[in-house]
Structure 1
């Protein structure tokens, strides 16, 4: 009996750094821009490559676990995760850090399915398994929630690489525990391993993302960027067609014929886009516009993230009393109202009001995520539940990745359009200052005339604040339209599961 709880402790410890790494870098964006001299696009790649690679690799790593046994899989995953953490901490350039983050995601994509398999195999009693899964979910959400807070503390007192170095002692301790306490499982060498399909899908996603990020810079490489993005779309179309014809597809796209499942997937993706994108926006604005330290920024946004991780009981209580249609519409609709409210409040003079809206936003997004799961699982049979769960997991990871992309690109475009610079500056200097607020600060620091430097900083901060307001109004409007779509698309009598 005691060994069960030792195994659960190991599962929690190995899952914690995986969930932390999804958000721990958000408050580090200004620091990374300064320390590594990163371009705006490189910063976006550093943040979102983790979620994008995870989205493409989770399914094949789950199949690999069946072939190798999940003990072997988790040992390999932990070693890769530990080495990648060290490589990330020692990175001396943006490209090196991007590569390290991609390697981190590969290790994480091995650890994640192994944790779920470990719970299924260790806890055969239904009540114990439910409790273990509840702890697993709490660690996942809480880790992502406190990531900015831990990142802020480490950046306040140590070198930025410390946000990765904290993974290493955990990995070493868990590795020892896994070797001695987790039994080996039977292997299924006949289990197909769709690695080729996964790599193909990952390449198509990265091509589309590259096309989006580079194309929206509107520079001389616009045609090349459009071609790259268009190539990705063509390859993705071919992938979907081939999967639809496959007898053993990696992703069962036939399930999207069920409208309720399709709506649930949209809810999951949009919820993650808004949550992750907004957190990234806030982490930058608080530090760059309001001069918060990384730790103070992490503390300021803590009510949002903590409410999103403790909202499960509230969402569950509502789910037992109202229909899924009402629950989903309420979650997305309340998120829309929160974004509209945040676009008009003053973050410095109305702090408590901001925190109240943060709490409401976290709760409403949690309700939306529960609605997504209920929608997806309500329309599939038990035999289809694994395939449906895989679709939901990919929607979560892609939503997190695209949240960084969409919000990041909107910040860049609206900021560049709104910044009003002095005509005394040369065109080359103005162009550099328009690239990003961090670039504007560098220009200001290199200007020999202090008054002119102060004008540049003031103009950059004002432009970023204007971008903040425009983005939140746009997000609120999109969520309002989605609320209408959900209300009209979901049947009234559909039950929560």
Structure 2
């Protein structure tokens, strides 16, 4: 029994950096923007390429784990994660950092199914396995929730490179413990690997996200945007068609035809879009507009981190007491109220009110996420639980990646429409300062103090206005989702065996 809990300890140590890296760059975004001279679009790619690549690669990596055994997959994934962390820390520019973050996503996509397979193979007793899965879920939620605070603490004492180098001690510890203490598992040499379909999915998602981000640019050509959008949609539809015909599909598309499962996936995706987008915008608002340090920004966001990471058990009790439909709809509706309140709150003058709204948002979004998980897992027979888990994982990771993309698109469009720059700037400086608040900060570094103050004042006002607009739209989106959930989960029945 000691060996089983030792394996769980190794799994937790491996999962912690994977979870933290999903959100650790949120408070580092302003620092990276200035340090690397990254454009608004490049900054968004740096942040969300990790989740997008992980979402597409986690399916075939699960099959690879079945073929190699979870210990070998875990070790390979941790080694790649460590190497990519070094590459990210040493990246000289935005393009190299994007590439390194993509490799981090590949490593994470190997670690994630390895940890789940490790729990499944190590804990034979159902009760103990549920306890282990609960610990695993708490580590994932807590790591992602506290990622911004971890980033703030590191940036308060070190350069941005340390955000990635901090992974190395944990990587070394996991490799040592896994190599010495985790038993080997026999792999299945007959397990089929279908990386081509997975690559197709990744390219489709990246093409769709690229079309969104390219549309942000003032020099963007709509024909190019539409062509890339059409290419992404074509590849996505082709992926679905191939999966439906495949004898061993990466993703059980048939499950998504079930109303309850589809609703749960949509809830998870949209909730993550809203939560991740909010955290990213909040981190920039607090630093660029309020003048807070990364650590101060992370501390200011602590209520939403605590609320979202600690409400899981309570949300489960609510679902058991009042039912999935009522709790899911209420969670999404309260999220809409939280976004509306934050859209009309002055963070500088009303910090206590902001913390109250953030607490409500954290509790309600986490409840919505857990309800989405319950909807998915309660609607499938036991033999399809793994396939349903794959759908849930993809919804979470795609939501995290798309949240950055959509928040960036809406924010940039609103920012450009609202900004009123002072006279006297060159055309190039005015174009950059009018593109994003991060690029305005870069321009301000090259101006005299009076002109720099005027530029940053104009950028701050435009960003605050745009932030409120985006949060208002998030409130409208969650309100619509609450209505959809209420009606689609009515008389929901589980999938037949």
TM-score (ref. length: structure 1): 0.97
What do the CA deviations read for 1:257-297 (whole angstroms, capped 9, x no partner)?
11111111110001100111100000111000000000000
State the Cα distance separating 1:237 from its structure 2 match.
Answer: 1.2
Q: Where do 1:294-333 residues align within 5 Å?
A: 294-333=294-333
Conserved 8 A contact 2:34-2:441: no
Q: Structure 1 CA distance, aligned partners of 2:401 and 2:272?
A: 9
Q: Where do 1:82-481 residues align within 5 Å?
A: 82-448=82-448, 450-481=449-480
1:203–1:220 CA distance, 2 compared to 1 (3 A): closer
1:453–1:376 CA distance, 2 compared to 1 (3 A): same
State the Cα distance separating 1:482 from its structure 2 match.
Answer: 1.1
Q: CA RMSD of the aligned region, Å?
A: 1.5
Q: Structure 2 CA distance, aligned partners of 1:234 and 1:120?
A: 36
Question: Secondary structure at 1:209's aligned position in 2?
Answer: helix
> Structure 2 unaligned runs (5+)?
none
Q: Structure 2 CA distance, aligned partners of 1:493 and 1:172?
A: 47
Conserved 8 A contact 1:214-1:222: no
Conserved 8 A contact 1:208-1:228: yes
Q: Structure 1 CA distance, aligned partners of 2:231 and 2:111?
A: 32
Larger mean CA deviation between 81-90 and 229-238 belongs to 229-238
State the Cα distance separating 1:124 from its structure 2 match.
Answer: 1.2
Conserved 8 A contact 1:323-1:494: no
Q: Where do 1:72-91 residues align within 5 Å?
A: 72-91=72-91
Question: Secondary structure at 1:320's aligned position in 2?
Answer: helix
State the Cα distance separating 1:95 from its structure 2 match.
Answer: 0.8
1:35–1:444 CA distance, 2 compared to 1 (3 A): closer
Question: Secondary structure at 2:375's aligned position in 1?
Answer: helix
Larger mean CA deviation between 464-473 and 355-364 belongs to 355-364
Question: Secondary structure at 2:52's aligned position in 1?
Answer: helix
Conserved 8 A contact 2:345-2:354: yes
Q: Structure 1 CA distance, aligned partners of 2:337 and 2:220?
A: 40
Conserved 8 A contact 1:11-1:118: yes
Aligned twin of 1:35: 35
Larger mean CA deviation between 92-101 and 341-350 belongs to 341-350
State the Cα distance separating 1:447 from its structure 2 match.
Answer: 2.8
Q: Structure 2 CA distance, aligned partners of 1:34 and 1:139?
A: 32
Q: Structure 2 CA distance, aligned partners of 1:215 and 1:409?
A: 8
Conserved 8 A contact 2:216-2:412: no
Length, aligned pairs only: 495
Q: Structure 1 CA distance, aligned partners of 2:207 and 2:317?
A: 42
State the Cα distance separating 1:492 from its structure 2 match.
Answer: 4.5
Question: Secondary structure at 1:297's aligned position in 2?
Answer: helix
Question: Secondary structure at 2:142's aligned position in 1?
Answer: helix
Q: Structure 2 CA distance, aligned partners of 1:156 and 1:194?
A: 44
Conserved 8 A contact 1:309-1:366: yes
Runs of 4 or more, structure 1, over 6 Å off, are none
TM-score (ref. length: structure 2): 0.97
Conserved 8 A contact 1:323-1:493: no
Conserved 8 A contact 1:324-1:494: no
Q: Structure 1 CA distance, aligned partners of 2:470 and 2:342?
A: 11
State the Cα distance separating 1:445 from its structure 2 match.
Answer: 3.3
State the Cα distance separating 1:452 from its structure 2 match.
Answer: 3.1
Q: Structure 1 CA distance, aligned partners of 2:230 and 2:475?
A: 29
Conserved 8 A contact 2:410-2:470: yes
Larger mean CA deviation between 224-233 and 298-307 belongs to 224-233
Conserved 8 A contact 2:214-2:220: no
Q: Structure 2 CA distance, aligned partners of 1:162 and 1:98?
A: 16
Q: Structure 2 CA distance, aligned partners of 1:340 and 1:488?
A: 23
Conserved 8 A contact 1:90-1:161: yes
